[in-house]
Structure 1
């Protein structure tokens, strides 16, 4: 089944130096852009992360320091990437928890103002886990009856993700071929930030989703424990989380 699109959608996958959203960096990004007419464009970039790639990460994705030492930094390609995905919804595999937050961090570091909150996000892994509970390789075999060759190369994983979503639409009649529906179905929480540290409750109020104040409204915490803001701003939290927290603090101050 082909996707019913109101906007173009980009499926993307990141290979990185590690899994810490706040401190790790992109070493490869591959983007499959599916236009409203069904035509496709693919772009893959190796990226110099400006830090050593840990051996355990290189052994997973096969990208070593020597492979990226002459590649552009993310800042060098950020504006081009932003233009390429402008106006597009986003799709990926485990993307809501990892790829989208890390990409947002990289754009902030590159000082490129890309408003990703206006997008719809489809996480194929979430759909898969809600329906079958497996990995990407198993999903590809299960839905597409194919073996995923070159797994953990960004382009292979990106195309497999796109094919799995189309196969999911064919298999599950309860899934609507609509990006708004799939975006909502792909999400467990309604995140205020991409990392899910701050989420919305059923009253559309921002609440913390971790630590001793989990489930407590952010505005209440900032009022009764103002030092918590400084602790988070100085801590190892994603830049986008700090940006959201600051916006809430400023909104509270100006109200």
Structure 2
């Protein structure tokens, strides 16, 4: 059913302090109320944000602390704003920003407010396709719409009114407006700069997705069991981070992996490679620890824990220090080694470890160096045996292939896809198909978690 000529629209623009969505306060607001295609009323006011205005905002808008010193607080004009927004469809250029800022201002006053909304960015993309840019300034330039007093609420609102009138005239049957207002359309929640066709093309398969900015730089990497569902979920949330990220997204790429395990491994690899702006997890560097061996002045082979710098003298590497200490204690117990010569006790003389009592006297010259070193060499050999080699088989990207993940001597090597009529039963065969990847803290944690989740004994292969 077409919209009535009596339909009320509120065309809105706000200027703010720019401190993220949650702390963003209004410094100026303009609302033009329209009935059908006609402007019927206007409200404009400076607003005291009750917080300092950053210098970069003043540089952009010309509004500083002095400008708003005598302006009303939002609570003083909230009732007037509600009147201008009531019974109207909320319209703005990049509607999510203005809508959420105003809604948050109302929330601070314990006022619940919501409205149907239309975004003139997304409407312009649909009704006036193939323009070089859909920013308000560039759009007005392309369409010869006057834009005076840029980055002030009234100037931007007046230009948006003319743009919206133009869009209404282009949508004669009002099919586009109706579709955008449809509760199932979600048009108003999607990032304004990404064509809807990109969302439609997303697969419902496991894999990773990359959000890219205007310069095609990766700003976020995510993994998903269902790529389309996960991508869209970013923009149905009211979280500040998702909203702010959405404003910077211009393109979405993806890679289907066929299974969640490889999606997780590829996500870790991509985050390490691109170091994206909006990824917080997996960016912090993690220390790794090694059990190293060396001979002291007596010729005794000592074991110790060291922060990894290279793998030259490493017996085995751990991804947290507690695991390394636990393994050293186990070696002492299993091979009757001395806690002092395993760096578990920092005293001189005979060892007196609170838990390990089976030292045979190397620390007190009661055991020969030769006999002790044989035990240490056996302990080191046991560590090498603790480095499992195994292949994990998972679903491929289609029904005609399988996916294989290779871990060789405890180190993740990579993954590959193989036609399902090819048998992969040895490391040599697997290595010819895999794409080599680097092992790190996160890939180690992913694989350990996978083994625990599946409740698997490590499937060793030759």
TM range (shorter): 0.5 to 0.7
* Unaligned runs of at least 5 residues, structure 2: 192-219, 231-238, 243-462
In structure 2, the CA distance between the partners of 1:188 and 1:112, relative to structure 1 (3 Å rule), is closer
Correspondence list, 1:98-247, <5 A = 98-114=97-113, 116=114, 119-130=115-126, 131=129, 132=131, 133-143=133-143, 145-171=144-170, 176=174, 179-183=177-181, 187=187, 189=189, 215=229
Aligned-partner SS, 1:165: helix
Distance in 2 (alpha carbons) for counterparts of 1:103 and 1:55: 22
Aligned-partner SS, 1:29: strand
| Structure 2 contact 31–84 (Cα < 8 Å) conserved | no
Q: Which of 1 and 2 has greater Rg?
A: 2
Distance in 2 (alpha carbons) for counterparts of 1:162 and 1:186: 23
In structure 2, the CA distance between the partners of 1:106 and 1:31, relative to structure 1 (3 Å rule), is same
Structure with greater strand share of residues: 2
Kindly provide the CA deviation profile for residues 72-104 of structure 1, in whole angstroms up to 9, marking residues without a partner as x.
1111111221122111111010112x1101110
TM-score (norm 2): 0.38
Q: Deviation at 1:23?
A: 0.7
Q: Which has the higher contact order (CA 8 A, sep 6+)?
A: 1
Deviation beyond 6 Å, 4+ runs, structure 1: 210-214, 235-238
Aligned-partner SS, 1:22: helix
| Structure 2 contact 180–188 (Cα < 8 Å) conserved | no
Aligned position for 1:67 = 67
Aligned position for 1:247 = none
Distance in 2 (alpha carbons) for counterparts of 1:178 and 1:171: 10
Kindly provide the CA deviation profile for residues 190-249 of structure 1, in whole angstroms up to 9, marking residues without a partner as x.
79xxxxxxxxxxxxxxxxxx9788956xxxxxxxxxxxxxxxxxx9779xxxxxxxxxxx
Distance in 2 (alpha carbons) for counterparts of 1:129 and 1:31: 23
* Unaligned runs of at least 5 residues, structure 1: 192-209, 217-234, 239-255
Structure with greater helix share of residues: 1
| Structure 1 contact 126–186 (Cα < 8 Å) conserved | no
Aligned-partner SS, 2:52: coil
Distance in 1 (alpha carbons) for counterparts of 2:135 and 2:190: 23
Distance in 1 (alpha carbons) for counterparts of 2:55 and 2:29: 19
Distance in 2 (alpha carbons) for counterparts of 1:237 and 1:72: 29
Aligned-partner SS, 2:122: helix
Distance in 1 (alpha carbons) for counterparts of 2:140 and 2:18: 24
In structure 2, the CA distance between the partners of 1:65 and 1:189, relative to structure 1 (3 Å rule), is closer
Q: How many residues align?
A: 198
Q: Deviation at 1:110?
A: 1.8
Distance in 2 (alpha carbons) for counterparts of 1:21 and 1:89: 22
Q: Deviation at 1:38?
A: 3.0
Kindly provide the CA deviation profile for residues 13-56 of structure 1, in whole angstroms up to 9, marking residues without a partner as x.
00000051101100000000012583510110100000000010
When the two chains are superposed, the root-mean-square deviation of aligned CA atoms in Å is 3.5
Kindly provide the CA deviation profile for residues 147-182 of structure 1, in whole angstroms up to 9, marking residues without a partner as x.
422111111111111111222344567x72674334
TM-score (norm 1): 0.66
| Structure 2 contact 18–25 (Cα < 8 Å) conserved | yes
